[in-house]
Amino acid sequence: MAKKKAPDEIKHRPMDPNVMGLRKEVLEQPITQTLEINFMPYAMSVIMSRAIPEIDGFKPSHRKLLYTMYKMGLLTGGRTKSANIVGQTMKLNPHGDAAIYDTMVRLSRGYGALLHPLVDSKGNFGKVYSRDMAWAASRYTEAKLDAICSELFRDIDQDTVDFVPNYDGSLMEPTLLPTTFPNVLVSANQGIAVGMASNICGFNLGEVCQAAIAYMKDPDCDLMSILKAPDFPTGGELLYDGAALSEVYNTGRGSFQVRSKWRYVKEENVIEIYEIPYTATVEAIMDKVTELVKAGKLKEIADMRDETDLSGLKLTIDLKRGSDPDKLMARLFKSTPLQDSFPCNFNILIAGTPKVMGVREILDEWVAWRSEGVRRRTWFVQKKKKDKLHLLKGLKKILLDIDKAIKIIRDTELDAEVIPNLMIGFGIDQIQAEYVADIRLRNINKEYILKRVSEVADLEQEIADLQDILDHPQRVKGIITDELKEVMKKYPSPRRTEIIYEYQTAVETEVVEEAPDYPVHVFLSRQGYLKKITPQSLRMSSEQKYKEGDGAYLRWDAANRDELLVFTDRQQCYKTRLSDFDDAKASVLGDYLPTKLAMDPGENVVWACVTNDYSGHLLFFFENGKCARVELSAYQTQTRRKKLTGAFSDKSPLCAAWHLKEDLEMALISTEGRCMVFHTAVLSPKTTRNTQGVNVMVLKPKYRLEKALPLTDTAIQDVARYRARSIPVAGALLKEQDRGEKQLSLLEGLE
């Protein structure tokens, strides 16, 4: 075979002669061409043929497996070995027996991943709530289709869906399954494609059918009053959040919280957990609880064990004497997978195009698709009846003279001329003539023919009724509604996941161990080392130790329960408690804040303050002469957030900062040597943290603000010379006697 020529843009580069192999050159290919030729077909194949479900609620692997089982007669027959099913499915799905069997396991009743399992299984199929419980090999287990699958294949032989050849062209397989109910919303589905994913939660079958019926009557109906919330086969409690669910219903994206069900057995002093969130596993829960117990954060737990058996899931927690089970569970909900969120991403393939849709839009697409299926079925049935009517009309003409028909057949010498002679003799077409000619001799009697001809009127009436269905979309919707009501009646589905409307969040019920409160002295160095020292320790040794090149920066007299706010050069604020720091001595370097607070790489401390009630204001002085007065309460949050972005303005470098507890006079000094004094009462407080502030000192282009500190901390004597009547002002040149004996520095301008 001739070697394919490389494109013009592909260049040849000699390989290293030391590299073993027959080829002496490699091809350099532009990355754009690699993406177009190699990557894009792969990505499209994964999206369209593997990972994203379609409007019938199935991925191709699910559909191929179920259709194979249907063709094997497993809808009404007995079970067969799973290995047999897997082998037959490989005629449609050539991806290996392990992948096919995994698909069967997920659809099975034993595994329990679906609200309405599609595979009636026998044997060990594992459990969805267990990460480590392995299912038995396919040669040991047996399976058949569950009864509800009759709703998936009811019309499949009536031209309701298209069929395409399989991968080798030896068989035909359906592109979709003609489900009589919105299975896409009933069966939970998850898939990860290339550049996109899909995560669809399951809903209660009865509620979905009611919602579809209500939508067909009124597209603007209130779906949330009918389809109340998602439902999961593992049960649990769904914490109802109207706003979050509304976002999921409208956009197809969002999340909601599901938590475990538990009970307290007072006689044994144990907590029994018997239902867990759909996204959690028993092993993950036990691992996290064990981790917290070892860290000393769950001192109430004496032991925890998995007592799951044939009766169902059960995790048992032994409590220590005097423990409060409600408070313990509140902490477990916050810090373990016993309460978990389900992220929704309703990404579905519609006519070969992935589309993220809300529930209403999904129902709209399903109703349109199902309506087309009902019309195709109606047209198929009508065509069958028309063909039968056509034959009976030919038979009716024969009824006029049966003897003539017999004479024509007897007088015809050649067999090939029987049909043409009947066509000429009675004025019928070839199909009708062949039908008449094939009538058995015993049926050539008047009674038989009259009985058959009497069906003509009924057929004409049925054909007219079917045509009326095709002409009126409302009748089609009526048929879909009747089928949905029949599904609801045949497959009753009580809700498994309980909806909790009144509840407390884990944050509200969190029990925080109070740290002991006592006075401390806190020291922060210029390079970001912090030390918390008790008064007793400080009296014993007050000489502070610093790294070479480092020195004192800030100091506070505080309490152990006070909060520390650390501001960085990236306009971020890190919040922590002084109780999170160990008591230290003056002779140690202390805790390095960038490491202790897990700051971003290269981020440095520029200022900090201590508070216990978030009262007062923060003054931020910038090198461009502006000052921002921000309420300290703007940094207080309801939850214990450890990091706030946009802590102050980034329009100009920070020159100095001050924790203002009461108004006072501040002195500002520029690099030009000018000074101005103003009262902080003229600054209006802001609640926006990153406000740019107001212009206080007017600066010439080549100068900047150098220092800002309280007037009482300066050596200024002639205050009236520098005091501003209004702001902004340029200030007056600083006199020699007002400079003081030593040069003021930025460090002294910061608290």
SS (H, E, C) 688-747: CCCCCCEECECCCCCCCEEEEEEHHHCCCCCHHHHECCCCCECCEECCHHHCCCCCCCHH
What is the third-level CATH fold of 261-337?
Answer: Gyrase A; domain 2 (3.30.1360)
Instruction: Flag whether the pTM goes above 0.75.
Output: no
For residue 226, the SS3 value is helix
**Average pLDDT score, the chain:** 88
Domain ranges (residues) in the chain: 52-179, 261-337, 370-490, 519-749
Helix residue spans in 218-324 (DSSP H): 223-226, 242-251, 282-294
What is the third-level CATH fold of 370-490?
Answer: Topoisomerase; domain 3 (1.10.268)
Which long-range contacts link 465-471 to residues 24+ away (Cβ below 8 Å)? 466/378, 466/379, 466/381, 466/382, 466/385, 467/382, 469/374, 469/375, 469/378, 470/375, 470/378, 470/379, 470/382
pLDDT at residue number 57: 93
- Given a cut of 60, is residue 39 above it in pLDDT? yes
The percent helix, strand, coil of the chain (3-state, each to 5) is: 35, 25, 40
- Given a cut of 50, is residue 512 above it in pLDDT? no
- 673's tokens: 């040597």
More confident site: 451 or 268: 268
- 327's tokens: 């408070």
pLDDT at residue number 6: 45
- Given a cut of 90, is residue 474 above it in pLDDT? yes
Judging by beta carbons within 10 Å of its beta carbon (0-12, 13-18, 19+), is residue 433 exposed, middle or buried?
A: buried
Share of the chain above pLDDT 90, in %: 63
pLDDT at residue number 262: 95
Dist CA 690 CA 702 (whole Å): 25
Tens digits of per-residue pLDDT, 684-708? Answer: 998 889 999 999 999 999 999 999 9
- 530's tokens: 């912090």
Q: Are 608 and 566 in contact (CB under 8 A)?
A: yes
CATH superfamily for 52-179 is Topoisomerase II, domain 5 (3.90.199.10)
* Residue positions annotated with a catalytic role: 140
pLDDT range class, residue 741, cuts 50, 70, 90: low
The answer to whether the 52-179 and 519-749 domains have the same CATH topology is no
More confident site: 637 or 144: 144
Tens digits of per-residue pLDDT, 81-121? Answer: 999 999 999 999 888 899 999 999 999 999 999 999 999 99
Class of domain 519-749: mainly beta
Consecutive H or E run containing 396: helix 359-399
pLDDT at residue number 504: 65
Tens digits of per-residue pLDDT, 404-441? Answer: 888 888 888 888 888 898 888 888 989 888 888 888 87
537-542-548 Cα angle (round to 5): 120
Dist CA 428 CA 395 (whole Å): 9
Residues 255-272 have a mean pLDDT of 94
pLDDT at residue number 42: 83
pLDDT at residue number 506: 47
Q: Are 392 and 453 in contact (CB under 8 A)?
A: yes
Q: Quick check: bond before 728 cis, omega within 30?
A: yes
Residue-wise burial string across 665-696, b where 16 or more C-beta atoms lie within 10 A, e elsewhere: bbbbbbebebbbbbebeebebbeebbbbbbeb
pLDDT at residue number 509: 43
Share of the chain above pLDDT 70, in %: 93
pLDDT at residue number 229: 95
pLDDT range class, residue 381, cuts 50, 70, 90: very high
Residues 722-736 have a mean pLDDT of 90
pLDDT at residue number 393: 86
- Given a cut of 80, is residue 399 above it in pLDDT? no
Q: Spell out where 201-294 has E strands.
A: 237-239, 253-259, 261-265, 270-275
Tens digits of per-residue pLDDT, 524-537? Answer: 999 999 999 998 88
DSSP characters over 489-546: HHS-----SEEESS---TTTT--PPPPP--EEEEEEETTSEEEEE-HHHHHH--PPP-
pLDDT range class, residue 25, cuts 50, 70, 90: low
pLDDT range class, residue 515, cuts 50, 70, 90: low
Tens digits of per-residue pLDDT, 124-138? Answer: 999 999 999 999 999
> Residue 489, CB half-sphere, CA atoms under 13 Å: how many?
6
Consecutive H or E run containing 446: helix 446-453
More confident site: 638 or 384: 384
Q: Give the strands of the sheet with 80-81, arranged side by side.
A: 80-81, 142-145, 119-122
More confident site: 113 or 739: 113
Amino acid letter for position 41: P
Q: Are 178 and 55 in contact (CB under 8 A)?
A: no
- Helices 359-399 + 402-411 axis angle, to 10: 80
C-alpha pair distances (Å), 129 with each of 109, 263, 331: 13, 19, 22
